[in-house]
Amino acid sequence: MFYLKKIYRYLKFAISKKRGLFYPKFQDEFYSFQQGYLRGNYKIINERQKIYIPYLLSLPKKIVSQLYFLDAGFGRGEFLDILKKSGIKKIVGVDTNNKSVNQAKKMGTYAINKDVNKYLYLTDKKFVGISAFHLIEHMSFKYFFDFLILSRDKLTDGGILIMETPNVENIIVGNTTFYYDHTHILKLPKLMIETVLKFVGFRKIKFIYLHPAKEKFDSKYDELLYGPQDLAIIAYK
């Protein structure tokens, strides 16, 4: 029996080399902690996201009252709060983090624990809007491409897609802070995002550079180092 237990422990350790021995138990809790510690607290992010309110208010009231707005990878729920304060009542949040989903449910949000592409592919719903804040950099390029195709197909005509991602054209972001999140995969400069959006059929595409580390720059090089750290993308079907 002793040897069987030892063999079992050895096999468990061998398997853990890929997934981690302790990490699976703590991954959701750690990710929530990491977001607060490195990205900013709930209040800061919620305040920043108020810049999107005019775009939400500009959506046709009739469509807003009939269709859902999907927030993909909603995390702590900052944008879910923005949606509610903008008068959008039919909201669905999709996230793979158990802690985030359970917390959102406690707050009365219709929240689903599922991969966003899987959800979009299987749902029969049409959406007035889809948002994805700091989500697309976690995807492979093929997955990102599929996400845009699925978003296009599930949005109603005139529906809005709002995304935000690290501005990798900023040298410090592209080479350092991008890796503060160990789950980041894909660096997406503005031109690449624009190219894919146009290819899959989005129109009226707008980019907004956000959150500079400095307000004034001494040179173009200074701007590349301390300029906008995030990039917002707003596109319509």
pLDDT digits 0-9 by tens, 141-197: 999 999 999 999 999 999 999 999 999 999 999 999 999 998 999 999 999 999 999
| C-alpha dist (Å) from residue 104 to 81, 114, 203 | 10, 14, 32
- How large a percentage of the chain has pLDDT more than 90? 72
Q: Is residue 2's pLDDT more than 70? A: no
Instruction: Provide φ and ψ at 190, rounded to 5°.
Output: -50, -50
CA angle 225, 164, 111 (to 5 degrees): 145
Q: Is residue 1's pLDDT more than 70? A: no
Per-residue confidence (pLDDT) for residue 37, from 0 to 100: 82
| C-alpha dist (Å) from residue 18 to 22, 61, 97, 162 | 11, 49, 20, 34
Query: Whole-angstrom Cα distance, residue 172 to residue 229?
Result: 9
Q: Give the chain's mean pLDDT.
A: 91
**Mean pLDDT, residues 193-214 taken together:** 96
Is 233:164 a contact under the CB 8 Å cutoff? Answer: yes
Q: 37-41, 155-159, 232-236: which range is least confident on average?
A: 37-41
**Chain segment 99-137, per-residue pLDDT in tens:** 899 999 998 999 999 999 999 999 999 999 999 999 999
Q: Which of 55, 35, 173 has its CA nearest to residue 95?
A: 35
Burial of 188 (0-12, 13-18, 19+ CB in 10 A): buried
Q: Which of 94, 91, 104, 93 has its CA nearest to residue 64?
A: 91
Burial of 207 (0-12, 13-18, 19+ CB in 10 A): middle
Q: Which amino acid is at 101?
A: V
Give the predicted TM-score (pTM) of the model: 0.88
Q: Is residue 231's pLDDT more than 80? A: yes
Boundaries of every domain in the chain: 1-39, 41-236
Q: Architecture of domain 41-236 in CATH? A: 3-Layer(aba) Sandwich (3.40)
